[in-house]
Amino acid sequence: MDKIEIGEYVRTKKGIIAKAQLYQDAIYHEGSGKKAIFHNYEADKGIIADIDIAKHSKNIADLIEVGDYVNGERVFKIEKDPFIKGQTDIFFNRDEVDYWGDRSLSQITDKDIKSIVTKEQFNSVMYEVEGEK
């Protein structure tokens, strides 16, 4: 993975999104003279080890995946504009049906993002009710 800069957003393998604020190396010495070095980022969500980071970007929209929830709505589709750097269109599947009978898609850009709940976070707190047997 390429170098993560301070101020970048990171997404961990467990689905936590945070902003890197400080880089630190933690060195642990064993009694046998061996040492282990761990590379960590202090973030607004706590300490995150570099090996736990799945991806990073200066643009938070780059970390969003289909199935995440942005501004309270489930992300259905993501498209990046190749002509506008940093422009990402995020689509939500709406229940309304358009003129042609297709479900309509609502769209926001990275500038409209107010909150994100990753699919991993959503699944970790979800309670499933068992059906009748």
> Is-contact 76 67, C-beta < 8 A?
no
Note the Cα 77 to chain centre separation in Å. 15
Which mean pLDDT values do the consecutive 10-residue runs of the chain (133 residues) have?
Answer: 90 95 85 82 92 93 92 85 73 60 64 92 90 68
pLDDT digits (tens, 9 = 90+) for 86-119: 677 787 766 555 555 555 566 777 788 999 999 9
CA distances from 6 to 1, 65, 84, 86 (A): 15, 22, 24, 18
Q: Could you tell me the pTM of the whole model? A: 0.76
